[in-house]
Structure 1
Amino acid sequence: MKLWGGRFKNAESKLMEDFNSSLSFDKTLYYEDIIGSIAHVKMLVKCEIISEEDGNKIIEGLDSILKDIEEGKLKIEGDYEDIHSFMEVNLIERIGDAGKKMHTARSRNDQVALDMRLYSKKRAQEVVENLSRLLGTIKTLAEKNDYIMPGYTHMQRAQVVTFKHHMMAYFNMFSRDKKRIENSIEIMDESPLGCCALAGTTYNTDRAFTAKELGFKGPVNNFLDGVSDRDYIIELTSDFSLAMMHLSRLSEEIIIWSTKEFDFIQLSDEFSTGSSIMPQKKNPDAAELIRGKAGRVYGDLVSILTTMKGLPLAYNKDMQEDKEGFFDALNTVLSCIKIMNGMLATLKVKKDSLLKAVKHGFLNATEAADYLVNKGMAFRDAHRVIGEIVLYCEEKSLPIEDLSIEQLKEFSGLFDKDIYEFIDYENTLHKGIKKHMR
C-alpha cells in the first residue's frame, strides 16, 4: 500500500516499485519514526488539530507497534515503499480511521529529515562514548609503558622519545576526533519537524513544542533548508573519515611493530589470526582490517558529497541515497574503534627491544652536534663533524657513546669527557619536552 496515488490513472510498474523502495535499509529508523510521530501527534492534540481521543488511540497504537517490533512479533517487511508507509499502514490496521489522521500537517520530507537527525544524533553520541573508552585505554597503555624508544622520520630512526609520548600523540588525534563529532552534534541539534514538504503548513502548529519533546535545542529556521539539509550527514561522515585515518595510521604502526624485524610489541591471540599453511605465523589481521576499512569510509564520504553537489532546493529523491553510505560509515567506524580498543588493552610492549633499537640508531647524534655548538662551533660545522663520526661508527659497528674520548678528539678537539653525560639517552629527553613525555 502507498501513501499516494489519487492523481494517478495507471499503476506503478513492479520494476519501479522495487527501484523506488527504501524499506530494506530505512527500516533501521523504525524507532525514530515512531517517537517522531508520537511527538507530532501530541502537538496536534495540544493545538486542537485532532481530538485527544484520536491522539491517544494513535499513540497507543504506535506504542504497541514499537513493542511488537522489538519483541520480534512484527517483522519490518512486505510491499511497502518505506518505513513511513509501513508504520502508517500497520497503524491504520490496528486502530482504524483514527490512524489516518496521524500524518496531518506533516510531509514525508520533514518526517524522514527528522528520523535521520534523531538517528544520527543518537548514534554519533555512541561514537563519542566509544572514543572516550579508547582514549582511556591509550592513556593507561602509555602510563604503564613509559620506556625510551626510537622516534622516526621518513621511517628512519631519528631521536629518542618514549613509548608513552608516542602513544599520547594518538591520544591527541582521537581527542580532536571526539571534539569534532561533539561539535557536529551541536550544529545539527535542530528539529525539521513542521517544515512539511518545503513551505510549512496552513495549520497552526507548534514547532517549538515538538523540538523540545524530541530533545532538540529548537526548530530549524528555514523550511526549505530543513527538509533538504544533509550537511550533518556529510559532516559526521567526514569526522568518521578523519577518525578512520587516525585508526589506520595507528594500525600501520601496530603492524610494523609486531613484525620480527621490529619486535616492539606482542599482540594478544584474541586480536590475531594464523595461517592455513604456515604454523609459525601470527598475523595482525585486526589492524590490517582497520587499515583496509578506512578506504571504505572515505568512499561513503565521497558518495554523499557527490549525491548532494548538484541538487536544487528543496527535497529530491536523490537524498534517499544518504542512508546506506552513512549507516555503513557509522557502523564501520564504531566496529573499528572497538577492535582498536581491544587490541591496545591486550598488547604487550617489549621494553628491551625498544632500548636495543635506540642503541643501534645513533639517536643521540643531534645532541652530539648540540654539544659542539655549546662549545662554540657553528651548527653547520658541527653537523658535518657528527656526520663523519656516524660514518666512522657504522664502519666499526659501534654506537657514538662507545667511542673513547681519544677517538672523538680525532674529529674535534672540543670534545671532553662531559660528552658522555650530554649524549646519554635518558638525558637526551630534553627538559623542555621531558615533562610532557612523562
Structure 2
Amino acid sequence: MSPTPGLGNRDLEAERAAARARLGGQKLIPQGLPTARIDQLMPSPENGRKTLHKVAELARTLKSDGMNTAMTVLPPDVFLAKYPQHTAAVQKAVAEGVVYVVHHGHRRLAAAKEAGLTEVPVLVRHTIVSPRIAAIQENLQRMGLNPIEEGEEFQQTLQEVDEETGKVYSQRALAERVGASQTYISHRVALLRLVPELRQAVVNHWLKEQGVDPDIEGLLLPVRPAATVYARLREDLQQSVATGTLAYEDATVVAKLREDLQGAFVEGKLTIEDAAEIAKLPHGQQKLPDPLERAKVSQEPEKPVVQPAAPAPNPAPAPEGEKSPVPTPRVEPTPEGVAGQGDGTGNGNPEPSPDAQPPAPPAPPAAQGNGDGDRKPGTEVEVAVPRVIELREEKDLDQLVLALIEHLTDEERDYVRQHLL
C-alpha cells in the first residue's frame, strides 16, 4: 500500500531526497522578471494615451526606489501581426537595436529615461488577441485604493522611519518618494478625521467617479471640501452636515474657528454673523465677543474733526545756525482770490459768521525762550485732537500710516524718505 493515499507506489520523501542529492546541497532560487535596456524598447505607435502626466514625479520615485512594476512588451513580429501598417517604423527601430515594442507602461518608460535608468523589468507576451482590447482591459481593471484607504496607507507610512535619513517620514519626504504632491497626501490623511457617515460619502463620490456605481444616491463629498472644511469641524458639527442641518456655506465659516468657539456656536452663544467676524482673526486672537463691545465693533470709527487754530504771528527768527525751538504752525492755506478780505486787518481772515464761536483767549505770557522749547509770549501752536484708529484690518494700518505722515513737518518727511532709501 502506498505510504500516501492517492499517489500509487510513489514515495515523495524518497524523491525529494534524491533531488537534494543531485543538487549537491544547493538551493533553488527563483529568478526574477527579465530586464531590457531602455534603448531596446520603443513606444507603441498605437498607444492610446497621447499625453503623459506627472512624468517628473514618477521619475523621482524611480530614481530612489527603482521600478517595481514590469512593463508589458511585445516582440516586433507579434506587434506587426496585428498592426502591419506600422511595418516601416518598427523595422527601422529594429535596425537601430530595438528588441521590444512597449504595450503597457509608456509613462513608466518616459520616467525611466528621465530618471537615467539603464534597465527596466519587462513582461514579454507572445500571444495576444487584440493589443488595443488588452490595453482597455488593463485600464479598466486597474482600480486603485479609494481616498480613505489611501489616507490610511499614508498615515501608516508616516509612522515609519526613512532608512536614508533615520527619521520618521514627513509628508514632504513621503510625497517625493511616491511621486505625489504634499497636498494630495495631506488631504487624504485629513479625511481620517471624518465621522463614518462623511467617510462613506467620500467613498461614494469616488465610486461614482470611477463608474463603479454611477446610480449611487445619498450624500456625495469630493475630497477637497471634505478635507479642507468638514474635517476641521467637531464631530457633532460633522453629524449636522451628515443630517443636512448645517449648510456648506456655514460650515466653511465655522471650520475656521477654534474648537471651543465651535462649541459656543453649537450652544447658540455665537451667531453665524459673529462667527464670520471672529473667523477673520488668527486662532490665537479669537475669543467670544463682549456684549458691551458689539455695538462698538459694529460701528465704524468716526473721523475726528479738528478745529483749525487761529493763525499766530510769525515767531521771532532764531539766531543763525540755530534751529528755532518753535515749529512753524501749519494752517490750511487761504484759497486764492480771498486774501486780504474779511475784517480789514489785512491778514486774510474771512469775516466771521454770526454763529462763529468767539476766539479763544490768548495763552498766558511765557518766559523768554531759552532753546528748550519755550515759546515767546503771544505765540500759539496748533494742537490737533488725537485720532483713534482701531487696527482690525490691513486697510486700517494704511490709515494709521497716512495719519502719522500728516503730522510730520517737511523736514521730518525728508528725513524719513532718506532713511527709507
Is the pair's TM-score, using the shorter chain for normalization, greater than 0.5? no
From the CA coordinates, give the structure whose radius of gyration is larger: 2
Which has the larger share of helix?
1
Q: Which structure would you say has the larger RCO, counting Cα contacts within 8 Å and 6 or more residues apart?
A: 1
Bucket of the pairwise TM-score, normalised by the shorter protein: under 0.3
Normalising by the residue count of structure 2, what TM-score does the alignment of the two structures yield?
A: 0.21
Normalising by the residue count of structure 1, what TM-score does the alignment of the two structures yield?
A: 0.21
